[in-house]
Amino acid sequence: MRVTQSMITNNMLRHINQSYKQMSKTQEQLATGKKISRPSDDPVIAAKGMTYRTELAEVEQYKRNLSEAYNWLDNSDEALEKASQVLNRIRELTLQASNGTLDPPQKAMIGKEVTQLKEHLVTIANTQLSGKYIFNGNDTGTMPVDLSTGTVSKNTNKVSFELSKGILISVNIEPTKVFSYNPGPPESGLFGDIQELEKVLNGSSSTPIDSFLNKLDTNINNILSERAELGARYNRIELIDSRLGEQKVTATRLLSNNEDADIAQVITELKMQESVHRAALGVGARIMQPSLIDFLK
């Protein structure tokens, strides 16, 4: 086949154009810091990147769930601690009232303080977190305790968060184990015991005062037991949190290795491409010699 000047020129222009495209791609990598700018640049890298991003998004969502779980457990434990303090104070007053030297007016004064402490326990039982009642099972929109109507929640359904793939952790306690109430007669449970104690202190019941010490101890132990259960769950959540942190670091590293450009290598490639491009331009200048037509003109 006869090689013409136009064929040589066209080949030279095509190669120079390809050189421009390659330099443009390399410069784009330097500007963005990424190996690819669109999926068509490298479908394999793009597909892997989608996988790593999905994993990172899941980890971030689990982290948000963890934050809410921590908040729920912290508020529950704080409320139980306050409830324990209140019950210990009521026990002190009961022990004081069991002293046979106190007359009815003095016992009545103690009864008034017990009443105030009971109302404070109701407030604790109705603790809210972001507008949600934390001691009413999964019915977080309803107030769990209203002694004016004798309403005390018996909802034992769990409030659970997914803190890792397929792992659900309950963050609430069963209100019936702590803030309990049985109307009786005689009344029993946490609030029932306190209200029976009020009757004794006000002189409307002849039940021995010291009999309430064991009942109060039982209620205090119930709270301690639930706090221990919360602590065990808190420890497990911390382990999950630590593992999620490691997963996030790993996924971020894999995503970076998959998509981020090696800047030093890209700069080296750009220098080489510039040298090759200059050489191609120099060769092109030599190829484009005057033709026979130029002389005939």
Alpha helices in 126-210 (DSSP H): 189-201
Q: Is 39 inside a domain boundary?
A: no
State if pTM tops 0.85: no
Select from 98, 96, 91 the least CA-distant residue to 121.
Answer: 91
Burial of 58 (0-12, 13-18, 19+ CB in 10 A): middle
Q: Is 37 inside a domain boundary?
A: no
Q: Is 136 inside a domain boundary?
A: yes
Residues 6 or more apart in contact with residue 95 via CB below 8 angstroms: 210, 213
Q: Is 242 inside a domain boundary?
A: yes
Domain range for 194 is 53-255
pLDDT the model gives residue 47: 86
Token digits for 198? 């009020």
3-class SS at 232? helix
pLDDT the model gives residue 67: 93
Token digits for 223? 């709270």
Q: Is 22 inside a domain boundary?
A: no
Q: Is 292 inside a domain boundary?
A: no
pLDDT the model gives residue 50: 87
Q: Is 45 inside a domain boundary?
A: no
pLDDT the model gives residue 222: 94
Give the CA diameter of the chain: 139
Strand partners, 260: 34
Q: Is 297 inside a domain boundary?
A: no
- Based on the structure, what is the number of domains in the chain? 1
Average pLDDT per 10 consecutive residues for the chain, totaling 297 residues = 68 74 74 75 83 90 94 94 96 89 89 94 94 92 90 90 91 90 88 93 88 94 94 94 92 82 75 75 67 59
CATH of the domain at 232: 1.20.1330.10
Q: How far, in Å, CA of 90 to CA of 108, rounded? A: 14
Query: Kind of pairing, strands 151-152 and 160-164?
Result: unpaired
